Structure 1
């Protein structure tokens, strides 16, 4: 079948890993969309609230490109650096108060070096002050359809009120290429040279992965490692967003996996109706998986200090399994007592893989209010020489289970009522 062939590349890629740990699920989100058609190829917590870190600078650049387009500023004009801009922590160009930087150099510094001092200087020049500029950024983002995004600064440095979602960041990436194709080539710069120093692009996929021509990376403690990638192969341009990676290496590897699997799925697709539109994402043909962290200790990486990052960013570390509402539990393991909440359950699918069962639980839970407090379980059962994982919601009263199944069935989802003890 088509969808099984589409899953093969990603499945093979995963088999090459020896997982050292799982990513921090509280921060993880991913989204892949075909820019030309709006076809969603992968969606994982894509509308959950996340911190953008230096993905913020994509919006700063959008505002700068817009000012260039309207003639408010020119590529060869210079921007003065204030004391406030010069005081920003790394990543920066170490500019001093009173320095001036050309607009074109500012673009390179934002894209490649992700310089916080330059971002603030741009914001002050265009908005009359960074706070006011952030307000304008937010209003413009709303006009572009970024409904979950609020900006509080121009750089992405930590602010708990500065939030977005993976889907919003994909929308912004699409807007940048659609509205300013004449400036989009800046995102494909492998390096940037300023004052005799050459800086390499933080986006390691640029120039290395087939078709990748941008866009941006970001990191702060609250966000984990983020990336937005644009890539074009044949007639398809894909935008891929990964947020909450445990390391830059794991983030980049996962983004590359998703890109390759999505392009492969598009090559083999037989009917575009199998996919959902950008507005109504469904379960997709790309294998939905949790981000797998590579053991990066052997790579000799230094502590990350990049993009929207405080100067005291933590060292690279591998995080062990993070508690999650969905739990693996074998049939022969003792069950939790459900006396207080009820002994009924519903089953919404059976899969060859525990992660697929977990993903199904997460996809279905928002569709029925009765499932909000239910316990999601990926339970294994051996049938002959094959092990299946059953996606279930447990701890329900009979009425709640019956109503949840009725709601899901009306929505076109499979659901079976499971009596106590079964």
Structure 2
């Protein structure tokens, strides 16, 4: 298990984005936040949810990439970013998937919504149900495209969580978010995500822009085994989005590092055993523990083992006996169970009597 700080304050990094967050993918903990929970207009960034709904069907096997959906007049007429599908035509699901991810096609998004739920309105209701299921508490979706609507809102925290879930739940499809070009109907379009071209390790996910929302970006990158997810929203231009996102990501990877604390099954401490054939039992980790921290946070880190002792025998290997507690000022406390590293049998009757007598003599002294 990887753990990370609850989140640096906005004062730790000045960003032009009105709303921003950095999420440590492996732990799900926030490393940086600025207005993270305010529901804001998403523009095309909410298409991550449209894609998520489609990927669930592909993963479940209820759809294949070779299945087709028909293009309605509504989808064909939709303005904004387009895949350029033709009304009345049958379009492969695999092409629609790339048309949304790479080309940000509003038309492709509506085709998928209608193909999965019968109408875009019904699809929006399904997305809202899924948002509640996933714990996206500041999300309300009214369409499949992110088209301006006074009730279509997500927080940057919810966008980051959804990106993380996409990476975890659909590893066979996530690579599509790194594709830089897609051609449909002999029309080649490039992915609008600027970090794919300018930041080493970036592999997703989605840009967005409307007059109300400003310019936004959901990005993900992995370097040296460390994966971070970024959301920035409310910037004033595409150029500012491109430069600010790279600056923000560079700062994050310079500032935060994965520090390995304990390996899986590593002995952390020993605990006293009462009336056992051994007087102490090793306490071992239940899983690896790594902390994503800045160097300053690491210096202030305090690690302690907490248990009620002595622990009465018998003890079975693997039995939870204690808790490893990691505290850092201003950071959410990390807790992890510690297990018995070996069996400890109970003493026989004579041994228990001798131990009890010894304990009384020791106490009297």
The answer to whether the superposition gives a TM-score over 0.5 is yes
* Structure number having the greater strand percentage: 2
Q: 1:131 aligns with which of 121, 128, 139?
A: 121
**Shift of residue 275 of structure 1?**
6.7
**Shift of residue 218 of structure 1?**
0.7
Structure 2 matches for 1:88-127, cutoff 5 A? Answer: 88-127=78-117
CA contact (8 A) 2:70 2:91 kept: yes
Structure 2 matches for 1:218-257, cutoff 5 A? Answer: 218-257=208-247
Q: 1:55 to 1:143 in 2, by over 3 A?
A: same
Uncovered stretches (5+) of structure 2, i.e. residues with no partner: 1-7, 258-293, 302-325, 335-365
SS of the residue corresponding to residue 195 of structure 2 reads coil
Distance 1:43 1:107 in 2: 31
Q: 2:182 aligns with which of 192, 196, 206?
A: 192
Q: 2:196 aligns with which of 186, 199, 206?
A: 206
Match of 2:32 in 1: 42
CA contact (8 A) 2:128 2:139 kept: yes
Uncovered stretches (5+) of structure 1, i.e. residues with no partner: 1-5, 15-21, 280-422
**CA RMSD after TM alignment:** 2.3
CA contact (8 A) 1:228 1:242 kept: yes
CA contact (8 A) 1:38 1:278 kept: no
TM-score by length of 1: 0.58
CA contact (8 A) 1:187 1:214 kept: yes
Q: 1:165 to 1:71 in 2, by over 3 A?
A: same
Match of 1:329 in 2: none
SS of the residue corresponding to residue 78 of structure 2 reads coil
Largest Rg, 1 or 2: 2
Distance 1:149 1:207 in 2: 30
CA contact (8 A) 1:29 1:242 kept: yes
Q: Size of the alignment, in residue pairs? A: 260
**Shift of residue 136 of structure 1?**
0.3
Match of 2:153 in 1: 163
Q: 1:178 aligns with which of 154, 157, 168?
A: 168
Distance 1:175 1:278 in 2: 24
CA contact (8 A) 2:178 2:196 kept: yes
CA contact (8 A) 2:203 2:220 kept: yes
TM-score by length of 2: 0.67
| Residue 143 of structure 2 is aligned to residue 144 of structure 1 | no
CA contact (8 A) 2:37 2:155 kept: yes
